Structure 1
Amino acid sequence: MRIGIVCPYSWDVPGGVQFHIRDLAEYFIRLGHDVSVLAPADDDTPLPPYVVSAGRAVPVPYNGSVARLNFGFLSAARVRRWLHDGEFDVVHIHEPSSPSLGLLTCWAAQGPLVATFHTSNPRSKAMIAAYSILQAALEKISARIAVSEYARRTLVEHLGGDAVVIPNGVDVDFFAKAEPKPEWQGDTIGFIGRIDEPRKGLPVLMRALPKILAERPQTRLLVAGRGDEEEAVESLPAELRSRVEFLGMISDEDKARFLRSVDLYIAPNTGGESFGIILVEAMSAGAPVLASDLDAFAQVLDQGAAGELFTNEDADALAEAALRLLAAPERLAELRERGSAHVRRFDWSTVGADILSVYETVTAGAAAVAAADDERAPGLRARLGLARD
């Protein structure tokens, strides 16, 4: 099958949607499909052979964050060229409601279209305002996927229609088989995310840290991600700042080793999350998870059975839960076991097969419509007095 996948966000700025698209493309390539991904990218960004650059992206505030999107006449021309050259059996658009390549592709594409909606935002004024513009484009979509029930709810409430829920995927074995790194082991708690993006929750964790260190002074917080490290610790007393180690951006291999090494992974995100891929990665690596009680996180963690939850934005609740867990090795072992079993439902062997089934359904439907049109065509030509070529 010739599969075209559209990424709305810049390929050179890591994020959950980009990782999902990358892993999905590579899963299908391993199965023998012909896959091309169209994505915004700076000219000097090294790209995998299956990614086609749609040009430089620009930063735009979107869903409580800053997304790097690509839109305009030049982008539209590149979309049309990519569609023409690809001759795809199916085109899979991610986030078609964002002002980026997905929407442009909806306008330009002919044939089977599948769309995945990642955003969870129950009060999106932008989506409400853009409804009339989006509706005509979205009507061309053959099948809709939402990565969670909360992303599906956002779609239904703002744009109408419905979607099948297929979660984000993870290569579970990649994380499960990673080797721990000795220097990251031993009384460590971990955080991965953009340091300077408040909704990722690092400020909440920093407010909780003094209480954690007061009872467990040997504990270290390991932080992986880009951002201003000095600003991140400025709220901490000076004598505690040495207990925070910043690792900067880390590779996928080191992320897996990080998650295999820490005693407890903490996800203090405050909102704007439709899924929680880092939770799935942490469980895949066998890391016990403590996360804020966002609806999407609760769903990923099986309502607290596969990982513990604390009250969102409550630093005291975070500290108390972390201290209780770190003092209970048997509970940490139980969370590792439950998380490792629960996470198998998110493996690409399951998720990828479900998405491929959607592709096969829409392409079969398009073929049936084309065949029906061919059957009607001779009678129509005869009634119009037209000869067959």
Structure 2
Amino acid sequence: MPRVALVSHSTTPRGGHVHTLGLAEALHRAGHPVHLVALGDPAAGLYRPTVAPHTVLQGPSRAGTTLEERVLAAIDLLAWGLAGRIGEFDVLHAQDCIAARATLRAREATGAPVRVLRTAHHVDDFTTPVLIDCQRRAITEPDRVLVVSEQWRTILRGEFGVAATVVPNGVDAARFPAVPVVDRAALRERVGAHGPLLLAVGGIEPRKGSVVAFRALAQLAAEADADRSPRPLLAVVGGHSFQDFAPYREAALAELPALGLQAGRDVVELGTVSDADLGAWYAAADVLAYPSLKEGFGLVAIEAMSQGLPVVASDVPVFGEYLTGGVDALLPAAGDPAALAAALHAVLTDDGLRERLRVAGAAVAARFTWDAAAARHSAIYTELAADTPPVQV
């Protein structure tokens, strides 16, 4: 079997790295020689314990740096770390733009006969010429490119002229421990959820549709006030990102008073949480509010479904690849707060609908396993390693 390094620019529990770790564990279980390499804090390690072999290299400092400076520094650090061990691998599988540029640079610097594979989970909205070019090269220069959805295969073909292969995400339902009812109640009490508890995962970010969620929440809160019933509360998990979304977050939170909402009362930020805590929030919440405007796959949706949490997402094309509106999730129009509010209200007030979504959602999640993803990846690694390596000059 080809020796594979799965390479990630981060150790934080965001979609790309969650994918990387889940894949690494499944490959390791299957006996495929795999080693995860990521940038982060070596003393802290990965965001959760794992039996998969891994190395955490020291990541760049965020203090006083621009996004461009952080990206370029991360590429340098990761390329240096990979170059020192490149002889241990036959395939370098990069999971993001930074990792792709670093793997290509490490191969160029060493002349090693190693193949470079890239999974493009999505394309970032970079604005500087340096980062735009960096991202383009990270997609066009690897030996082969994978994507996690048909939508992104179409985008890469149209915008970059790259023929990508689709290998969907997976989910491990057993990753989240069972949560006793008393603990769910304690979590709700901790955030002051005396009415419906809505859960958002991914932080307050543009592509997560956070402002749309806030405006929908305001409509639900006004209806609750009119009915003299408890207000819904939105708990937001996550928020740590390599990019700096602070201006968007601050503007979004600044809008709350005009919406009749209050930070810390109606919208509670929980920050980055452990796997166990994330599973507990999935169990404690009444509905996942996931009105994304752009996703590579939307791993959070099937995570929530695997834990029995009904999902209200959006009608962006990627969700339509594996979700059916009204059957296993509700998919209101992306960017439409009124439509989102109506969908959330339906789930919160219709017991029959809520149960149907739970059952159908669990069936969807069961179709996406890391073992299946690992088997597909293993075949691709074998194909790739059998190709004639590029000649280094």
Q: TM-score, normalised by structure 1?
A: 0.78
Higher relative contact order structure (alpha carbons within 8 Å, sequence separation ≥ 6): 2
What is the deviation of 1:202? 2.0
> What are the superposed Cα offsets for residues 273-317 of structure 1, whole Å, 9 maximum, x if unpaired?
111011110111111111122111222324553211111111111
Q: Give the match for residue 244 of structure 1.
A: 267
Q: Give the match for residue 162 of structure 1.
A: 163
Question: What's the % identity of the aligned pairs?
Answer: 29
1:205, 1:131 → 2: CA distance?
30
What is the deviation of 1:360? 3.0
Change in Cα spacing, 1:207 to 1:261, as seen in structure 2 (3 Å) is same
Report if the CA contact (8 A) 1:8-1:102 is conserved. Answer: no
Letter in 1 for 2:347: L
Q: Give the match for residue 144 of structure 1.
A: 145
1:350, 1:56 → 2: CA distance?
31
Q: Give the match for residue 77 of structure 1.
A: 80
Q: Give the match for residue 267 of structure 1.
A: 290
1:313-328 → structure 2 map (5 Å cutoff): 313-328=335-350
> What are the superposed Cα offsets for residues 169-209 of structure 1, whole Å, 9 maximum, x if unpaired?
110333485545223466211111222x2222222211111
Select between 94-103 and 246-255 the one with higher mean Cα deviation: 94-103
1:299, 1:236 → 2: CA distance?
33
Unaligned runs of 5+ in 1: 371-389
Report if the CA contact (8 A) 2:202-2:239 is conserved. Answer: yes
Q: Give the match for residue 380 of structure 2.
A: 358
What is the deviation of 1:101? 2.2
1:212, 1:135 → 2: CA distance?
42
Change in Cα spacing, 1:295 to 1:106, as seen in structure 2 (3 Å) is farther
SS of the counterpart of 1:309?
coil
Could you list the structure 1 runs, at least 4 aligned residues long, displaced by more than 6 angstroms after superposition: 66-69, 121-128, 227-231
What is the deviation of 1:265? 0.6
Change in Cα spacing, 1:83 to 1:265, as seen in structure 2 (3 Å) is same
1:58, 1:252 → 2: CA distance?
25
Unaligned runs of 5+ in 2: 189-194, 241-245
Report if the CA contact (8 A) 1:292-1:312 is conserved. Answer: yes
Q: Give the match for residue 305 of structure 1.
A: 327
Select between 316-325 and 238-247 the one with higher mean Cα deviation: 238-247
Q: TM-score, normalised by structure 2?
A: 0.77
1:1-389 → structure 2 map (5 Å cutoff): 1=1, 3-11=3-11, 13-42=12-41, 44-47=43-46, 50-57=53-60, 61=67, 70-72=74-76, 75-84=78-87, 86=88, 88-95=89-96, 100-105=101-106, 107=108, 109-120=112-123, 129=133, 137-138=141-142, 141=143, 143-175=144-176, 177-179=178-180, 181-184=184-187, 187-195=196-204, 197-216=205-224, 217-218=229-230, 219-226=232-239, 233-237=253-257, 240-241=261-262, 242-271=265-294, 273-302=295-324, 305-363=327-385, 365-366=386-387
Q: Give the match for residue 243 of structure 2.
A: none
Select between 161-170 and 336-345 the one with higher mean Cα deviation: 161-170
Report if the CA contact (8 A) 1:148-1:296 is conserved. Answer: yes
Q: RMSD of the alignment, in Å?
A: 3.4
